[in-house]
């Protein structure tokens, strides 16, 4: 229940932050978010900055560049970057502190949880696979790359079909489905 309340509150807040275009309001909201999350402050700032830096920099620098050719509103940069950072910061803070699977309906939660677990597993296998491939190459070649890609896609399609059946049987044997 607690997770659900926080999640809906979070959804209302992010909509509110995109509806109000006042820099002071956004700055005060960010200050409040910093105070409330002071335990994880440094970690969340670092994570949010890392996440938004690339896109925010590209947009901000391009906007400044545009300012060389035509008149621009410099306060936009504060509004835009503040909003992007605030939304990202709050998203990380809330999503790390609630159990998202308790918020979603049972079937959707099961689907997202299963997908997450499989994505996590597949991602690790994928990274291991390319690390292994790279360690065996003295230099890059497209033919070798395509051969590796074929082997990888064969392995993962096989794994997709096989894991799907295994999980389904496992869930059935543990009484997850009532059909």
Partner 1 sequence: MHIPDGFISPITYIPAYAASACLWSIASKKVEIDSQNLSFLATLSALSFVFMMIAIPLPGGTSAHLSGIALLALIFGPWLSFVAASLVLVVEALIFGEGGITTLGINILAIAFIGSFSSYYVYKVLKKRNETLAIFLAGWVGVNLSAIFIALILGIQPIIASIEGKPLFFPFDIKTTTLAIVIPHLLIGLAEGAVTVILYRFLKKNFKAMFDEG
**Hey, what are 137's tokens?**
């190459």
Greatest Cα-to-Cα distance within the chain, rounded to the nearest angstrom: 68
CA atoms within 13 A on the CB side of 13: 21
The distance of closest approach from Cβ of residue 5 to partner 1 in the complex, given in angstroms and rounded to an integer, is: 17
The distance of closest approach from Cβ of residue 20 to partner 1 in the complex, given in angstroms and rounded to an integer, is: 10
**Hey, what are 72's tokens?**
């621009």
Give the ranges where 136-174 is alpha helix by DSSP (H).
Answer: 142-173
**For partner 1, which residue of 23, 30, 45, 114 counts as binding (CB under 8 A)?**
114
Residue 116: CB atoms within 10 A of its CB come to 12
Asked if 112 touches partner 1 (CB under 8 A), the answer is yes
The distance of closest approach from Cβ of residue 42 to partner 1 in the complex, given in angstroms and rounded to an integer, is: 17
The distance of closest approach from Cβ of residue 85 to partner 1 in the complex, given in angstroms and rounded to an integer, is: 8
Q: Would you give the DSSP letter of residue 31?
A: H
Cβ neighbours of residue 131 closer than 8 Å, sequence gap 6 or more: none
**Hey, what are 112's tokens?**
């997202």
Footprint (CB under 8 A) of partner 1, residues 137-176: 140, 142, 145-146, 149-150, 152-154, 156-157, 159-161, 163-168, 171-172, 176
* Contact residues: partner 1, CB under 8 A: 14-15, 18-19, 21, 47, 51-52, 55, 59, 62-63, 66, 73, 76, 79-80, 83-88, 91-92, 95, 100, 107, 110-112, 114-119, 121-123, 126, 140, 142, 145-146, 149-150, 152-154, 156-157, 159-161, 163-168, 171-172, 176-177, 179
């Amino acid at each position: 229940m607690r997770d659900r309340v926080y999640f809906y509150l979070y959804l209302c807040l992010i909509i509110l932050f995109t509806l109000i275009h006042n820099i002071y309001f956004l700055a005060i909201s960010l200050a409040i978010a910093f105070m409330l999350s002071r335990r994880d402050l440094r970690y969340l700032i670092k994570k949010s900055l890392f996440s938004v830096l690339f896109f925010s920099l590209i947009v901000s620098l391009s906007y400044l560049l545009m300012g060389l050719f035509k008149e621009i509103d410099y306060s936009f940069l504060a509004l835009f970057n503040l909003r992007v950072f605030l939304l990202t910061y709050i998203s990380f803070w809330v999503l790390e502190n609630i159990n998202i699977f308790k918020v979603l309906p049972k079937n959707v939660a099961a689907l997202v949880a299963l997908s997450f677990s499989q994505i996590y597993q597949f991602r690790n296998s994928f990274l291991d696979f390319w690390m292994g491939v790279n360690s065996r190459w003295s230099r890059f070649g497209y033919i070798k790359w395509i051969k590796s890609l074929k082997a990888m896609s064969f392995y993962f399609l096989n794994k997709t079909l096989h894991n799907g059946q295994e999980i389904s049987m496992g869930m059935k044997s543990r009484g997850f489905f009532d059909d």
